[in-house]
Chains A and B, each alone.
Chain A
Amino acid sequence: MSLPVSGVHTLHGRAIAFASGIKIANPELTVIVNVGDGDGLGIGVGHFVSAGRRNLDITVLVHNNGVYGLTKGQASPTLKLGERTKSLPKPNINSGINPIALALTSGYTFVARAYSFDTKGEAEIIRAAVKHRGSSFVDILQPCPTYNDINTKEWFDKRVYKADMDGEVKDEPDQQEKIIAAIRKSYEWDEKIPVGVFYRNELVPPFQERIRGNVPSYPGRHPANSVIEKDGIPTTSVSKLIAAKRVI
């Protein structure tokens, strides 16, 4: 017995691009992107922003621990300015980005934060993110016991709390206010760190619908289920397009 799941271990930073190609070509698949904070918000941040702009129906889970673990603990894009985790030779001279605010301004329509030591809460949030129609993003706070000696389990345990946020957009005029409120909430960090769903909006047309505007048979007919040949003979005829170039 195996789970009907496939995995694509992509290039570092490019998981969202691979996932977007998979989801667009075969919209029947449920696509979940698992990336780190360095991967998703550093080298791959351009793709992160673009996925929000498309509101493509994929879920981006960023496992956020403030460091690049695999390469021995360098500062990741989420590590705050001046912080010096144990393998850094000098304090971090870059400011940390705010993943929640970045996702909100990029256009993600489901933006949440979870904490990895609250497994039940995290599972609930991920479930909601996957079910969401559109680009969903979950910032998953997790300590790196090997390299991050600042944001430890104890450090998080003291600060993380389940926030009761009213981020659901019910009608369009509501949208801007909810985004602004969610951004404001996302700056709560030093003393108290809220987890939960910051923002949720199903009124923005997902990418599939935008494509359908151009190709009416989509997503029912899509690149992966399109029949391209019959006994080897191409089903695509280009003769009309060629004839349109006729000069005599």
Chain B
Amino acid sequence: MQVTWTIGGPQGMGVDTSATLFGNIVCSAGFRIYGEREYHSNIKGRHSFFKIVFSEGNVRSMVRATDILATFEPQTIFEHFTEVRKFVIYDKAAESTDIEKANFMEPELRKEAATFLTARGYGTTAGEAVRYMTDRGVKAVPVSYRQLLTEISRNIKLPYTVIDRSRNTVAVSASCALLGISKDSVLNMIRSTFRNESFAQLNLHAAEAGYSILKKEFDLPGVSVSSHRVLVDGNTLSALGKMYGGLRFQSYYPITPASDESTYIEANQILGEGPDADGIIVIQTEDEISAINMAIGSALTGARSATATSGPGFSLMSEGLSWAGMNEVPLVVTNYVRGGPSTGLPTRSGQEDLQFALHAGHGEFPRIVLASCDVEEVFGDAAWAMNLAEKYQTPVVHLIEKALANAFVTIDEERLSIPDYRIERGRISRETGILHRFANEGDGISPRVFLGQGSIFYTGDEHNDRGHMREYSSNRIAMYEKRMKKLDTADREIPAERRVQSYGSADAGNIILSWGSTRGVLLDALDILNKEKTECRLVQIKMFSPFPAEQVSRLLEGGKMIIAVENNYSAQGAAYVRERTGISTSNEILKFNGMPMFLEEVVDALRLVVEKNERRVILNG
């Protein structure tokens, strides 16, 4: 059984904390979760929410409909009332609040919601929105938060303003009661979450109160699990993957949604025990220009080096990327993709920067570009990227969409061990004296030497094998070809099966062509559609450079329809496939409103495309 639970509230009111608490409780009861964190580019006040889909089995997609909406103030009701299916927990005192009072809602959205309600014969108060839900079979659970918490304040010596902040714990606990999760697991999780004794006491009281409001309506006592599982997000897995892959230097400039990776590494920068333990140096720089160029400088000394950024920062890094390409510098740039252009949708997701990642930087130089397709994969991909950079001595851009960076998922701990992973440092020379950094050995890859080892020269200008500036024609041609040849070598060596995958029956007449974070939702959609004989298979690309052209051509052969599914306006991945294989897609399903794709809308859109040959479907969920 799959259940979707959403909690919302003003930013800075503990929505994240309570969602983490709920997620931990559900996971410790043996369920697997897929949680999505949505927030505004704002410090305090605007609406943020956390949606958690959980089930006994694997959860790999987000859905729009929520079974249980947990709220403690009116705005969340106005933002989400159309998507609730079963229960809404809400503040009874807010029933009379009119939507006009939801100050932090964008005015047009407020108007949209008000019009929606009045057009259907409802008023515009929170109570009316609740009535809209109950008329559609949703069970309303009014909670008198103030009264309940005032009672608690009699037992606990904390100011009411502090006590009022545990409204969300009441909502979490009530939800658990509803689900049939034992009170003990709720209380135990609170004890281990809140280290401060008075906060722990307050939240324990709040949880007791919340739990007593509701009786169980679902039968989800728990599932027994024999192995360990972890709950992690994409940011953390990218950090861990890079660390495992030998990262020793990371520079960054603060930007959403990339910074969490760097701060996690810094918080855990000491590797091992004792005063001699190695460390990872993490530097917060003055800008992204400095971030990439410091990482390049560090890489020249032989340290595995990386930076992490997002669209606007990646734009600033373009010139450095070009220098790194020219000077064959092993450098990993983790590029978290959010909605653009410009600041765009700074806290939302998108797949708008694929073509940019493939082309950023002036001039032509080899680069490796890969995009993780789910949260778990981020770990292995990040470690892999560290190898690819040194093996091919060129920049690697690892694309991680915000939808993966801020998604929290349950993963079997053993799946994060990758026992066959080996660090491959590529060709290294230990010679000293006068060094020929760019010696041509036929496959484009030169023996790498490190600053300090001997006399080495680097320049952004065209150069000879010694690194000295040279412009004469035959050298230019030889060096240009040597650099570009690395991409052919990489193309020959990296197995195509690691770069593109195919799912579903090879006989299915219609092909979905996609890449990145959409894989989970598409696999779930395929399961649904293939039962209805809307037969499709999926071709999912992970690495765009070196591009597995032959394999992609082969996989796309015989497709009646080839349907591009992407989180951007112009189906950039499909355009690149067309450029490299000559194969065009026939239809497109696109979403660029900043939200990840929801299962319901993807299924509907695929039906429209396959059954009615709709050429272009824009999703707005």
Which residues of A are interface residues toward B (Cβ below 8 A)? 2-11, 14, 17-26, 28-29, 46-47, 49-50, 211, 214-218, 221-224, 226-229, 232-239, 241-243, 245-248
Contacts and interface: CB of A to CB of B under 8 A. Distances in A.
A24 B283 CA distance: 9
Given A6-B455, A6-B457, A223 B249 contact: yes
A17 B320 CA distance: 11
B298 A50 contact: no
A4 B30 contact: no
B564 to A, nearest CB: 35
Contact of A228 (B246, B268, B323, B459): B246
Given A2-B433, A226-B248, A233-B422, A241 B268 contact: yes
Nearest to B222: A248
Interface in B222-279: 225, 228-232, 236, 240, 243-246, 248-249, 251, 266, 268-272, 275-279
29 contacts: A3-B455, A8-B457, A8-B458, A8-B459, A9-B458, A11-B323, A18-B296, A18-B297, A21-B294, A25-B301, A214-B266, A217-B277, A221-B277, A222-B303, A223-B303, A226-B248, A226-B278, A227-B278, A228-B246, A234-B245, A236-B246, A236-B271, A241-B243, A242-B230, A242-B416, A243-B413, A245-B231, A245-B232, A247-B231
Given A22-B300, A236-B246, A242-B413, 7 more contacts: A11-B319, A46-B287, A214-B279, A216-B277, A217-B275, A229-B422, A229-B423
B91 to A, nearest CB: 29
A234 B281 contact: no
Given A14-B289, A18-B293, A238-B243, A26 B229 contact: no
Nearest to B437: A6
B24 interface: yes
A197 B423 CA distance: 49
Contacts of A221: 276-279
Contact of B243 (A11, A217, A229, A236): A236
A154 to B, nearest CB: 34
Interface centre among A2, A4, A211, A228 (most CB of B within 10 A): A228
A77 to B, nearest CB: 17
B540 to A, nearest CB: 26
Given A7-B457, A21-B249, A223-B281, A234 B294 contact: no
B246 A25 contact: no
B244 A236 contact: yes
A221 B278 CA distance: 6
B294 A24 contact: yes
A211 B294 contact: no
B276 A217 contact: yes
Contacts of B450: 26, 224
A25 B249 contact: yes
B277 A47 contact: no
A10 B30 contact: no
Contact of A26 (B30, B301, B323): B301
B305 interface: yes
A7 B421 contact: no
Contacts of A211: 281
A163 B336 CA distance: 53
Contacts of B229: 246-248
A235 B240 CA distance: 13
B417 interface: yes
Q: Which of B228, B251, B300, B301 has its CB near the most chain A CB atoms (within 10 A)?
A: B301
A37 B221 CA distance: 71
A246 B290 contact: no
A4 B225 CA distance: 61
B418 to A, nearest CB: 10
A11 B410 CA distance: 44
B456 interface: yes
B14 interface: no
B586 interface: no
A17 B424 CA distance: 28
B232 A4 contact: no
Interface in B405-420: 410, 413, 416-417
B451 interface: yes
B451 A22 contact: yes
B281 A47 contact: no
Centre residue among A2, A7, A214, A236 by max chain B CB count within 10 A: A236
A247 B21 CA distance: 11
A224 B303 contact: yes
B108 interface: no
Contacts of A22: 297-298, 300-301, 451
B451 A50 contact: no
B461 interface: yes
A50 B27 CA distance: 45
Contacts of B416: 242
Contacts of B278: 217, 221, 226-227, 235
Contacts of B461: 9
B363 interface: no
B436 interface: no
A24 B24 contact: no
Contacts of A218: 279, 281
B392 to A, nearest CB: 17
Nearest to B27: A247
A218 B295 CA distance: 18
B495 interface: no
B227 to A, nearest CB: 9
A27 to B, nearest CB: 10
A21 B295 contact: yes
A248 B293 contact: no
Nearest to B230: A245
Contacts of B458: 6-9
Contacts of B294: 17-18, 20-21, 24
B460 interface: yes
Give the 9 A-B residue pairs with the shortest CB-CB distance, closest first.
A21-B297, A215-B279, A223-B303, A228-B246, A232-B422, A21-B294, A247-B27, A223-B248, A25-B298
Interface string B455-483: 11111110000010100000000000000
A28 B450 CA distance: 13
Contacts of A47: 286, 289-290
A247 B187 CA distance: 15
A221 B279 CA distance: 8
